[in-house]
Structure 1
């Protein structure tokens, strides 16, 4: 049975099934994310990921599909699948452009689609799951995903968005089961990428790398290959291999030369390797093309590490403004915003954001963010509990171990602090331009254990 046949609903729809397959293959894969850096993307001809479309408006297939669907809906305003597909495209456009104003538009279209037809409308059900996940509302995302899978249990993309919701809700066993179901239905770049992440979360970086290499080998075209190179680069960087990360980013850019995500990855590796002028140039270009908050913050911290305080503060102001826009667009702020406030802003605000983030997204990153926010507010006993929770799956994260080390130091446990600092730097000695040098300095100053 082909994927299009698996996705065929019981009732006849009036839009080409290839477009539906394409929309779901991309939208649901990206909406919940892999828990890693965002991949601004649109669909390729194969219906998977395109690194080129976001910053190349002339050949942007997502924009072209939006235009075509808008034209179609002017003639057939009650086409349930067209409404849902356009809503899903708007979710993608919001992620690709860092513009949350698309989310209310997406919700209106998806709910209209469900009002027209709900019984077997897995496209809209999956679209609502994608929308809620993009807004970091993971409990309703899980509910929508379950409804969609109940309608169409043989759709691998729907299994993927189910896995994403389970992951972000901290239900890692159920997430792994959903990923395995996705792989069984359709082994390929989206499913193997998720399998890689399942392994990474439990600290098995060798398996994560092997699965991501398989994703690269199975890639359907240049866009998928660029995507795989991006995450292979992330695995390399997070394992302390910035040279390998740079090589993967460069390989990815040869496949997808307009990818902003790969440009950011290249800059991250360049900064770790000490070629800061190149890193600033690449990050600046990335921010100018798609001002993802992650990229803005990375540029600010790189400037700060070089003593360029005024330029750093300019980026931090942009980051704050973006967070306000996301909150106004219905996005629940969590770990990124909490860590930013803890490191560069108001510790009390950090704690408020982190507590809310953990309620809606009880994922490892949320536990780490709450731990750090509690630490910056002087509540280290509570902080240590949350930091331990962030590392409970065995994830190899230099940042998580660094945070726990400083919490332990504040509690007077220098031996434990030394152990975690040593491990953080062994995992990735250049994990952050601000925190890695501080980790080395603190480790050097810690009294020797008796």
Structure 2
């Protein structure tokens, strides 16, 4: 492979592999976890059963944001390795999933490399490796791992990762093709819902509101209550000028799923439309920032952006620098750059904004951040990048504060 992904022939219905964490979320289904628990009870000396339980607990932790599940997964993996510590591919891949879930991406990379050496023709190790390399900012290496997944098992897990790589490389049309293949090869409704919601996000990022709505609604058909599908419909509703309806949709969503992204979108929609309320969103986000500062764990970039624009910009820099020690993705680079801008350190901020742009991702928010930083430095490129951001997604203004120098 030279440089960019080759998606290969579009098989009508390739067999889907089990989707590793981060590729095909299950938002309500506890079936895999319950089945794995039952199997460990029936076959307590089966290392594969314990590895399967660990994988199910990791996925459950990701979808419920219950970090305690990761400790259960850790114990299950230790049990699996105690039963078979020599040729236990499933447990090694599981260790990689666990490390990535804990944002220990260097360790995740190590386990991914070990798994791919153990079984070069199995896809799970490459999924672990690709996810770790992305978060470490090693995009060419991530691309190579995804290409290997496509070669071995052209299914939802591979196509979803390929889509992300293509989008970050500035190839949104090819990313849309990859996501459609992820939909077509979905083996479960959860996989289908994930791929449709991602397709909606991609269309939204390009200002294609009608197309985005179609994908979000398909996600909700596949998985009723799909949170990213619901958030997408709220965005579409706001873009059509129905602010009250959009805020009502956000209210129902965050009551059940109070993720930083959804809380921040709701708050910023209020601010951008002149609604001074939003006390509940502010309170929840401020509490999450306090918890993030206290526990020393992974930091959601949306919390960094909230602190930068609505809370304590110095705390945003603190959190962003801490996350940067573990995660060198373009998303964290953008958040760190913006936090630095908000405390007036624009020269340093520009270096991170440029790093966020290095892959060629056509991201309207990144462009807006970069343009604002450049304007603060009296650079002529600033106006051009701000105009490019508005042209790429004219609805972005609904989700950023309107005061000069902020998002």
> Which residue of structure 2 aligns with residue 258 of structure 1?
225
CA deviations 1:14-70 (Å, max 9, x no partner) are: xxxxxxx99x823x242xx6xxxxx6x33xxxxxxxxxx51xxxxx3xx23323333
1:224 to 191, 194, 198: 191
1:137 to 104, 110, 118: 104
Q: Where in structure 2 are there 5+ consecutive unaligned residues?
A: 1-14
Q: Where in structure 1 are there 5+ consecutive unaligned residues?
A: 1-20, 34-38, 43-52, 55-59, 443-450
> Which residue of structure 1 aligns with residue 400 of structure 2?
435
Q: How far did 1:234 drift? A: 0.9
Q: 1:85 to 1:323 in 2, by over 3 A?
A: farther
TM-score, structure 2 normalization: 0.88
Q: Is the 1:364–1:390 Cα contact (8 Å) retained in structure 2? A: yes
1:357 to 313, 316, 323: 323
- What is the SS of the residue equivalent to 2:381? helix
Q: How far did 1:325 drift? A: 5.5
Q: How far did 1:123 drift? A: 1.5
Farther-moved stretch of structure 1 (206-215 vs 219-228): 219-228
- What is the SS of the residue equivalent to 2:18? helix
Farther-moved stretch of structure 1 (360-369 vs 131-140): 131-140
1:241 to 208, 211, 215: 208
TM-score, structure 1 normalization: 0.80
> Which residue of structure 2 aligns with residue 92 of structure 1?
59
Farther-moved stretch of structure 1 (214-223 vs 339-348): 214-223
Q: Does 1:416 align with 2:381?
A: yes
* Aligned residue runs from structure 1 range 396-407, under 5 A: 396-407=362-373
* CA RMSD of superposed structures (Å): 2.6
Matches of 1:328 and 1:223, distance apart in 2: 34
Q: How far did 1:77 drift? A: 3.6
Q: Is the 2:21–2:62 Cα contact (8 Å) retained in structure 1? A: no
Matches of 1:144 and 1:257, distance apart in 2: 35
Matches of 1:340 and 1:378, distance apart in 2: 17
Q: Is the 1:387–1:403 Cα contact (8 Å) retained in structure 2? A: yes
Matches of 1:330 and 1:91, distance apart in 2: 20
* Aligned residue runs from structure 1 range 131-280, under 5 A: 131-280=98-247
CA deviations 1:83-129 (Å, max 9, x no partner) are: 22212211111111122222222222222322332212221211121
- What is the SS of the residue equivalent to 1:258? coil
Q: 1:122 to 1:331 in 2, by over 3 A?
A: farther
Q: 1:316 to 1:129 in 2, by over 3 A?
A: farther
Q: Is the 1:87–1:127 Cα contact (8 Å) retained in structure 2? A: yes
Q: 1:334 to 1:356 in 2, by over 3 A?
A: farther
